[in-house]
Structure 1
Amino acid sequence: MKIKVLPLGPLETNCYILEHEDEVLIIDPSGDADEIISAVEEGQRVKAILLTHAHFDHIGALDEVAAHFGVDVWIGREEQDWLGDASKNGSGKYRDMGLELIESSITPEIIGEGESRIGSFKFQVLHTPGHSPGSMSFLFEGFIVSGDVLFNGGIGRTDLYQADHLTLLNSIREKLYTLDEDLTVYPGHGPDTTIGEEKTGNPFVRA
């Protein structure tokens, strides 16, 4: 499997394009829809869009990308109504700073914890709340896409709508730190890391 990392949008949020044979999954179309669309090569078939969570900086290009490829959007149940609600997805809070108001018209499909398969992609969904109540991490063979739960040397903010610090720490310790230490972590912002590196070196939460 090949992975393309595109830091996009006003907060340089990582959009991930996963390629397996001639199929593609897009995770968190954060902004700059044209760049995401151009990154999908001719002959490749986009099977779906996965969202780690519904904060505005992860969905800035959602409507345009979903419409272009004509695919379903999958998100955790707790945040299915956040896409069209600027007060929940956070875009309303920053409108006076010149950021775009995000009010998506998409009705998403619901994805829950457990084994999942979309096209030729097999993966495990881990419910990792704390940064937001519906945060999902997507575990593939050899790597995990963690959204804004765990970063390289950091963790997600918990001063946002329905966020909770202790819940976030529990998600990291109980869901992520129990995984293989060699597993690569692809976060919502910044460079990748590994589970082992964070267990020993993350200053915000140790194993």
Structure 2
Amino acid sequence: MKIKVLPLGPLETNCYILENDDEALIIDPSGDAETIIGAIEEDRTVKGILLTHAHFDHIGALDAVASHFGAETWIGGEERDWLADASKNGSGKYRDMGLEVIESSIVPKTMEEGERQIGGFSFHVLHTPGHSPGSMSYLFEDFIVSGDVLFNGGIGRTDLYQADHLTLLSSIREKLYTLDEDLTVYPGHGPETTIGDEKMGNPFVRT
């Protein structure tokens, strides 16, 4: 499997494109829809769009990308209605700063914790709330996409709508830090890391 990392949108949020021989998955189409569309080779079929959570900087290009590829979207059930609600997805807060207000028309499918198969992609879904109530992390064979839960040397904010700091720490310790220490972590912002490196050196959450 090949993975492409595209830091896009006003907050340079990482959009991930996963490709196998003839299929692709998109995780968090954060912004700049044309860049995302252009990064997918023409002979690949987009089998779906996975959202780690519904904050505005992770869904800025969702409608355009989903429409272009005719792809279904999956999200944690706690945040299904956030896509269309600017007060919940956070985009309304930054209206006065000139950022786009996002009120998506996408009706997503609900993603639940456990083993999943979309096209030729097999992965395990971990419900990792705290940064937001429906945050999902997507575990593939040798890497995990963690959204805004765990970063390289950092953790997600918890001063947002329905966020909770203790819940976030619990998600990291109980769901992520129990994984193989060599596992690569692809976060919502910034460079990748590994579970082992974060267990050893993340200053915000210790084992």
> Which range, TM-score by smaller chain?
over 0.9
CA distance in 1, matches of 2:164, 2:16: 26
Which residue in the other structure is 1:123 paired with? Answer: 123
Identity of aligned residues (%): 82
CA distance in 1, matches of 2:179, 2:21: 26
Which residue in the other structure is 2:90 paired with? Answer: 90
Q: Are 1:141 and 2:132 an aligned pair?
A: no
SS at structure 1 position matched to 2:35:
helix
Deviant stretches of 4+, over 3 Å: none
Shift of 1:77: 0.2
> Which amino acid in 1 is paired with 2:126?
L
Which residue in the other structure is 1:77 paired with? Answer: 77
Which residue in the other structure is 1:174 paired with? Answer: 174
Over aligned residue pairs, what C-alpha RMSD do you find? Answer: 0.3
CA distance in 2, matches of 1:149, 1:106: 24
Give CA deviations for 1:27-69 in whole Å, capped at 9, x if unaligned.
0000000000000001011000000000000000000000000
- What's the TM-score once normalised by structure 1's chain length? 1.00
Structure 2 gap ranges (5+): none
> Which amino acid in 2 is paired with 1:157?
R
Superposition pairs for residues 190-205 of structure 1, below 5 Å? Answer: 190-205=190-205
Structure 1 gap ranges (5+): none
SS at structure 2 position matched to 1:137:
strand
Which residue in the other structure is 1:53 paired with? Answer: 53
SS at structure 1 position matched to 2:133:
coil
CA distance in 1, matches of 2:184, 2:110: 26
Shift of 1:20: 1.1
Which residue in the other structure is 1:22 paired with? Answer: 22
Which residue in the other structure is 2:153 paired with? Answer: 153
CA distance in 2, matches of 1:111, 1:187: 19
- What's the TM-score once normalised by structure 2's chain length? 1.00
Residues matched between the structures, number = 207
CA distance in 2, matches of 1:20, 1:141: 13
